[in-house]
Structure 1
């Protein structure tokens, strides 16, 4: 039974004497849709503590407080910047490249029949997720000031432009690019910025030996990473199913189902891939595979049947595992696996609709054409590929310019001494784990810390 029919039935049971006019029924249906959008936005916002747990657990104890704390800072920052500038660029009236109106939400009455306050509340949460992914490339070695400046520019001129191209009526939307909830707009955008950041920052101290072999720098709390992944998994239903923007059809249930199936397949196949390849079942590989499945199905969740969702998720999980190995062998230090999990899986998820988009679902959503396996030829696959290349190129170039200027002016990396002691102390003056400074710490560690504090005062 459709959700809004159920809502009306409950109201009729409570107030049987009331005669509902057609206009009143329509208003109840709209109210149900608006409520669903707000609840979905809250679920997406709830993904931020998931990122905090995932990233803090994946990094070392001396940086845990910094990594978790900057998540709150960057989310607040992205909210204000997206309200002031980003939303207008993404959804304002303009041209196929950029929106030129609607800054500070001025001039909007509604967007596609949705009050602008509700539409903004939903969309700013997506911008915050993309920035969180981008910031992963800075982990454990970037100055806090870099998060501030890059976060402003990312949310003002990088993410919103891609959003306009795909979701705001821009040139990729005109060509029928299918990206239902953001494999390209959110995840590939964030991952591309993370890739540029980690390459310009250079690897963390001790990550690679003199001959280029990678050292294992384990995160300090694997339980945090597991909890973070589960929080993200739950929040993702707001991400994907919420993007239907309505409960006035069965589509939101279909999207929730394909999201779950793809994610489950990705978790299992990434786990099995690591087990078969290494002889040991790698928990980190399973967690990254799970996220890769979520990322991949984000573009295609409304366009593909259940069986295709399983295939998409399984391929994403395996791809993320082997690409993480490949990226590390290339000398790229990606502490939270943004490139393989959000980048490669984002590319695969975007391309997947070019293969698997089902005609009946394409008709319901009303975007693009059916995929190759349904007789649609190479048209939709070509549109998807062009979208990937264009978005990657724009984000990479602009991110490189911004970070390169920061590197040449204020610098983007903390000193070696600060990195060795940890960013909790050097950037915030306190450890995330105070017992790290207890009497049980080694004499050399206490001496280093006390000396650094004295110099900092």
Structure 2
């Protein structure tokens, strides 16, 4: 066996294992969101996660992957690789195209899961399926082509986004914001006088376990993006990932103790996620100390972003925009400031941030790319949801929302009653006008 064959085999094992770690993050999303929403909507969260995985993987196989990584046309879109057929030789991989598709399919599933939480407890299930098809087949693949494909116009300008703070998280966060605005707040979330009513999470221990699973999966998310088991930067990537998450969570513990006079559990959970999102773009490019700084800034920014949305009467039950949209933006810009040339060289880049002698060029490319990804995610989601709304209602009926989507849409509660029987007539009679 040649060294080249052995290296290819090791790379394949590495990419498949890290893809599986990323897919496990869907279990984290499911538990996190089910814990953050009310008990009567837990099943609806699980069903949306299954939509993310099932429809997302199929659509990305049929045409999403081709639009993202196929032969470039004008720097805008891919034109080959539909159903993984056709010419994909330009990607220049040490692994098979099937292995690469598997890894990338885990990414696309994560993108749509970001939007899922922002519209929890009131989106129409049919509308969500249609939006999943649009996001995984068009919105994300097109943005990904601009940044990550051979010939993508943002990549040519010099934008770098190692594992997706912009392409995945900022895009997903601003898409989530558009969807949340269009679907509208949950009944009773905001008072007529502008007050904000707290909707208590149903199960914070469950949400915490979900966050821990996401934290675990993120090592596959970031380290796996090397696509090589022998890349010397894997250890550094794992360390920066760990430090940023820890800093984000620790910051939220201390910051909420000062701001609210108590450590706020949902904020602490989201603080860890904010740190993870923030480090995703630069995990291979920045120092350990900078990674901690990114986690700190993302943790504080997440708290303020959550408060800002509520002040604007925008209902985001799990903090999807604050965690992904805001932290993804911070992480993308941080690369333009703090990327170290000796670290970017390890992954074939060689760029330097503003504070490491690189001037303004990388920061400018990062800012432009970030702006484009955010505008594209928001605008494309807005248009898609408007179009979907003409085919089927975006939002469930008032009765379905009050009784809960588990029973109202899926016909089964997350937890059975004491005697094991469900009286739908009693549930409906309890509804208040």
- Quick check: TM above 0.5? yes
What SS class does the counterpart of residue 396 from structure 2 fall into? coil
Whether the 8 Å CA contact 1:74–1:151 is kept in 2: the answer is yes
Give the Å deviation of 1:184. Answer: 0.8
Match of 1:413 in 2: 395
Rg larger in structure: 1
Aligned mate of 1:121, from 102, 127, 139: 102
Q: CA offsets per residue over residues 24-56 of structure 1, 9 Å max, x none?
A: 122212211111011000000000000000000
How many Å separate the matches in 2 of 1:189 and 1:435? 41
Aligned mate of 1:165, from 146, 157, 173: 146
Give the Å deviation of 1:367. Answer: 2.9
Aligned mate of 1:232, from 214, 218, 236: 214
Aligned mate of 1:345, from 327, 340, 349: 327
Match of 2:240 in 1: 258
What SS class does the counterpart of residue 281 from structure 2 fall into? helix
How many Å separate the matches in 2 of 1:339 and 1:117? 32
What SS class does the counterpart of residue 435 from structure 1 fall into? coil
Q: Does 1:98 align with 2:44?
A: no
Q: Say if 1:451 and 1:220 are closer, same or farther in 2 by CA, change over 3 A.
A: closer
Match of 1:64 in 2: 42
Q: Does 1:154 align with 2:135?
A: yes
Query: Unaligned regions of 5+ residues in structure 1, if any?
Result: 1-22, 453-457
Give the Å deviation of 1:404. Answer: 1.1
How many Å separate the matches in 2 of 1:228 and 1:381? 34
Give the Å deviation of 1:247. Answer: 2.1
Match of 1:107 in 2: 86
Give the Å deviation of 1:448. Answer: 3.3
What SS class does the counterpart of residue 428 from structure 1 fall into? coil
Give the Å deviation of 1:436. Answer: 7.8
Whether the 8 Å CA contact 1:59–1:220 is kept in 2: the answer is yes
How many Å separate the matches in 2 of 1:263 and 1:320? 13
Whether the 8 Å CA contact 2:341–2:350 is kept in 1: the answer is no
| 1:282-431 matches, cutoff 5 A | 282-367=264-349, 369-431=351-413
Match of 1:141 in 2: 122
How many Å separate the matches in 2 of 1:115 and 1:437? 53
How many Å separate the matches in 1 of 2:203 and 2:6? 47
The size of the alignment, in residue pairs, is 427
How many Å separate the matches in 2 of 1:116 and 1:30? 12
What SS class does the counterpart of residue 87 from structure 1 fall into? helix
How many Å separate the matches in 1 of 2:223 and 2:234? 5
Q: Does 1:218 align with 2:196?
A: no
Give the Å deviation of 1:84. Answer: 0.3
Q: Does 1:31 align with 2:12?
A: no
Match of 2:224 in 1: 242
Whether the 8 Å CA contact 2:112–2:172 is kept in 1: the answer is yes
Give the Å deviation of 1:271. Answer: 1.2
Match of 2:426 in 1: 447
How many Å separate the matches in 1 of 2:87 and 2:417? 52
How many Å separate the matches in 2 of 1:25 and 1:371? 36
Q: TM-score, normalised by structure 2?
A: 0.95
How many Å separate the matches in 1 of 2:401 and 2:68? 37
Match of 1:131 in 2: 112
How many Å separate the matches in 2 of 1:333 and 1:436? 33
Give the Å deviation of 1:273. Answer: 0.8
How many Å separate the matches in 2 of 1:145 and 1:26? 48
Q: Say if 1:342 and 1:438 are closer, same or farther in 2 by CA, change over 3 A.
A: same
What SS class does the counterpart of residue 128 from structure 1 fall into? helix
Match of 1:14 in 2: none
Q: CA offsets per residue over residues 430-457 of structure 1, 9 Å max, x none?
A: 1111128868x9x9x96233799xxxxx
Q: Say if 1:266 and 1:451 are closer, same or farther in 2 by CA, change over 3 A.
A: closer
Query: Unaligned regions of 5+ residues in structure 2, if any?
Result: none
How many Å separate the matches in 1 of 2:300 and 2:277? 13
Match of 2:33 in 1: 55
Aligned mate of 1:45, from 11, 18, 23: 23
Give the Å deviation of 1:175. Answer: 1.2
How many Å separate the matches in 2 of 1:336 and 1:426? 21
Whether the 8 Å CA contact 1:92–1:99 is kept in 2: the answer is yes
Match of 2:55 in 1: 77
Q: CA offsets per residue over residues 95-129 of structure 1, 9 Å max, x none?
A: 20110111111114653222100000000000000
Per mean C-alpha deviation after superposition, the further-off stretch among 236-245 and 318-327 is 318-327
What SS class does the counterpart of residue 280 from structure 2 fall into? helix
Whether the 8 Å CA contact 2:248–2:272 is kept in 1: the answer is yes
What SS class does the counterpart of residue 78 from structure 2 fall into? coil
Whether the 8 Å CA contact 1:55–1:336 is kept in 2: the answer is yes
Whether the 8 Å CA contact 2:68–2:142 is kept in 1: the answer is yes
